Chains A and B, each alone.
Chain A
Amino acid sequence: MKKSVILGALTVAGLAAGAAGAATLDDVKARGKLNCGVTTGLVGFAAPDANGEWDGFDVGVCRAVAAAVLGDPAAVEFVPTTGKTRFTALASGEIDMLARNTTWTFSRDTDLKFDFVGVNYYDGQGFMVPKALGVSSAKELDGATVCIQTGTTTELNLADFFRSNNMEYTPVPIETNAEAQQQYLAGACDVYTTDASGLAATRAAFEAPGDHVVLPEIVSKEPLGPLVRHGDNDWGDIVRWTLNALIAAEELGVTSANIEELSAGTDNPEINRLLGTEGNLGEMIGLDAGWGKAAIAAGGNYGELFEKNIGENTPIALSRGLNAQWTDGGLLYAPPFR
């Protein structure tokens, strides 16, 4: 295998290496670092801060997994990926997991041989137009020129939406969000469409956000979540339950502030199992008993991560909406820890 790795690298760098690593958990432990694929930079979700440290909502998931597996939230090698390179990077084994605003779809889960382990943000595609156009519904956009980020599911939703409503449009495909913003503001397109969270982030960065409206229609379901390679179920379980641990922690009231106190033992057996003071959940997935505690302590529970990175007090200013706990009328529902 060694020799073929070297030669294989000549044809497709890294492809052969990926095939070698069937047990991702062992690889990560041996390496001492988790390779996590993120965006090249989307403020709030994953972007390097002023000190070059990666920060954001998706980054938080990576750090939690690193903390659960290696006990150190800083033991992450962040690999920036574009919409184009992300799947190749994961399939080839260059990264162990991908946390990059990736929509969970049937074909990606099956045909592309990936496993989505859950949803960390429920999104949907929306439209933004200048107020001056006087448009109040997406159904009035017949004949419009639409700026769209290429290489995303939004492209397909857009085609479907206009076709099903019997309307015409001119797509203006654009590589990055920053360019799209520039084109939209110069009036090279009438409409900008992307995930509603992205629209909110983009609009917040405008000089006069009040001159632009986000239309009420949400034309698609965009469940964004982390994913791993198909075929290594043990590794998939670890990432899935780390995400669930973050969600369950919010529901159970475990925060980064009170976690030390709670891990001394509580009356709630589920909290005890989650934090490893009772039962042997860690052993079942091949980790230490304190994996759940480490994951939550890394950046806080789901709610804390949300508030810190994209919540209402940040410039992105997203409300919880669908992403609230099921007890608050949202869709977040972690299966029981037992």
Chain B
Amino acid sequence: MTTLSDPPRESFRLSMLLNDTRYRSYTFQFIALLCVIALFSFLGYNLVKNLQAAGLNISYKFLGETSNYDINQTLIDYSSQSTHWRAAVVGVLNTLLVAFLACVTATIIGVVAGVLRLSKNWLISKLMAVYVEAFRNVPVLIWIIIIFTVMTAVLPQPRDFRGENATASMWFDAVAFTNRGVYIPKPVLESGGMAVVIVFLLSIVGVFAYRRYATKLLYATGKMLPTGWPTLAILFVPALLTYFVLGKPISLEMPVLAGFNFKGGINILGSLIALWFALAIYTGAFIAENVRAGIQAVSRGQTEAAASLGLRPGRIMNLVILPQALRVIIPPLISNYLNITKNSSLAIAVGYMDITGTLGGITLNQTGRAIEAILLLMAFYLAISLAISFIMNIYNSKMKLKER
């Protein structure tokens, strides 16, 4: 039996919103939120009203109209009879393609350069320092134009490959470097070709499974399995076997000189190459600095402790330093990836048809719908940047130091 009773609960009064410290901050935050909403709705309303007064109404109908222009690199079916919306999608895919290629390449360049910059070899570390400083401190637009101009000026025209005394020739009759881009053979799948591809994909899964098993075995019993040659074997042997058993169902379509240009094969446009490499080496320099900072953030004691356990320098880097350094490296790496994606909008400088070139360029021009196109463009870049952040943040929280 208890004699204690709860103190009478004070009922909520309106004045508490201002006087009670428990509620006051909410009150002010709510008022601030209302003000922000009011400001933006006023700006939006003002924009729409004035556009109407100027006889321009926001309308996205133009996206359904025929675009009437051609695009030189299309990852999906597209012709001048497709809609503006489809042209925008082609542009989005081109943006994503160059951003993906540049992100992967920049990461590889950045990690290698960052590690080498800490090398004890004077020449190598100085060379990497020169690379980082030279590329980091020149605007990326300049790099894009330099690479593109050099490619255009130095590489031969398709015309030079022709005739008895041609001044240029193809590599192994398969690859042609021209100032319009690089022509490479294109794999053609015949019946059964798909089987080889599937076997190869399964092999990749197999490699991961094998490596996982090897690690598990190592932790459980201390027995170490070799990983080098089995990886290669698992990767290639089954695919090659299937390829020959099924009677070589995959052939290559070689580029051949026909008419004005090379025909057949895959044409990697010069503008794509210029943009890709410029973005990769430029951002790679930033990533190199991040990697260096990350490695230097791991205390020296870790290296020494690992060395005293008898680990070789390569293993120390891979097993001890880099995993810890990654925690420092990943957050700035995310913003570097975002930078690559956004910087890819400089594509128009070399005539690469990304989303800024199609939707924000030709479509905007031909329809005159500037505000609509720019709004859509902003929405796209925002969405893609948030998506990249989201994915990278998941990775980041996975790598982060688990505090329990």
Q: Given A15-B54, A16-B50 in contact, is the A111-B179 Cβ separation under 8 Å?
A: no
Q: Return the contact of B72 from the options A16, A108, A173 (Cβ within 8 A).
A: A173
Are the CB atoms of B54 and A92 closer together than 8 Å?
Answer: yes
Are the CB atoms of A88 and B55 closer together than 8 Å?
Answer: no
Complex interface: stretch among B116-124, B130-138, B362-370: B362-370
Tell me the bound Cα distance from A163 to B70 in angstroms.
10
Are the CB atoms of B261 and A173 closer together than 8 Å?
Answer: no
Q: Given A92-B54, A173-B72 in contact, is the A84-B365 Cβ separation under 8 Å?
A: yes
Q: Return the contact of B348 from the options A107, A160, A175, A231 (Cβ within 8 A).
A: A175
- A324 → chain B, closest Cβ, in Å? 31
Are the CB atoms of A7 and B353 closer together than 8 Å?
Answer: no
Tell me the bound Cα distance from A187 to B162 in angstroms.
14
A139-176 interface code vs B (CB 8 A; 1 in, 0 out): 00111110000111001101110110000011111110
Point out the residues of chain A lying under 8 angstroms from B70, CB to CB: 158-159, 162, 169, 171
Q: Given A156-B69, A171-B70 in contact, is the A145-B261 Cβ separation under 8 Å?
A: yes
- A85 → chain B, closest Cβ, in Å? 8
Q: Return the contact of B270 from the options A7, A108, A173, A188 (Cβ within 8 A).
A: A188
Are the CB atoms of A170 and B80 closer together than 8 Å?
Answer: no
Point out the residues of chain B lying under 8 angstroms from A172, CB to CB: 72, 180, 271, 351
Task: Kindly identify, within residues 320 to 363 of chain B, every residue whose CB is under 8 Å from any CB belonging to chain A.
Answer: 348-349, 351, 353, 357, 361-362
Are the CB atoms of A112 and B43 closer together than 8 Å?
Answer: no
Tell me the bound Cα distance from A133 to B158 in angstroms.
12
Task: Kindly identify, within residues 159 to 187 of chain B, every residue whose CB is under 8 Å from any CB belonging to chain A.
Answer: 159, 179-180
Q: Given A8-B46, A15-B51, A92-B54 in contact, is the A171-B72 Cβ separation under 8 Å?
A: yes
Are the CB atoms of A143 and B260 closer together than 8 Å?
Answer: yes
Q: Given A18-B54, A84-B361, A172-B351 in contact, is the A12-B371 Cβ separation under 8 Å?
A: yes
Point out the residues of chain A lying under 8 angstroms from B258, CB to CB: 143
A66-85 interface code vs B (CB 8 A; 1 in, 0 out): 00000000000000000110
Are the CB atoms of A151 and B72 closer together than 8 Å?
Answer: no
Q: Cβ of A87 < 8 Å from any Cβ of B?
A: yes
Q: Given A155-B362, A172-B72 in contact, is the A8-B348 Cβ separation under 8 Å?
A: no
Q: Cβ of B126 < 8 Å from any Cβ of A?
A: no
Tell me the bound Cα distance from A160 to B47 in angstroms.
36
Are the CB atoms of B69 and A15 closer together than 8 Å?
Answer: no
By beta carbon, the residue of chain B nearest A189 is B180
By beta carbon, the residue of chain B nearest A147 is B351
Point out the residues of chain B lying under 8 angstroms from A158, CB to CB: 70
Point out the residues of chain B lying under 8 angstroms from A12, CB to CB: 47, 371
Are the CB atoms of A145 and B180 closer together than 8 Å?
Answer: yes
By beta carbon, the residue of chain B nearest A163 is B80
Tell me the bound Cα distance from A171 to B263 in angstroms.
15
Are the CB atoms of B80 and A159 closer together than 8 Å?
Answer: yes
Are the CB atoms of B179 and A186 closer together than 8 Å?
Answer: yes
Are the CB atoms of B362 and A19 closer together than 8 Å?
Answer: no
Hey, which bits of chain A sit against chain B, CB under 8 A? Answer: 4, 7-8, 10-12, 15-16, 18-19, 83-84, 87-88, 91-93, 107-108, 111-113, 132-133, 141-145, 150-152, 155-156, 158-160, 162-163, 169-175, 182-183, 186-190, 229-231
Hey, which bits of chain B sit against chain A, CB under 8 A? Answer: 42-44, 46-47, 50-51, 53-56, 68-72, 80-81, 149, 152-153, 157, 159, 179-180, 258-261, 263, 270-271, 348-349, 351, 353, 357, 361-362, 364-368, 370-371
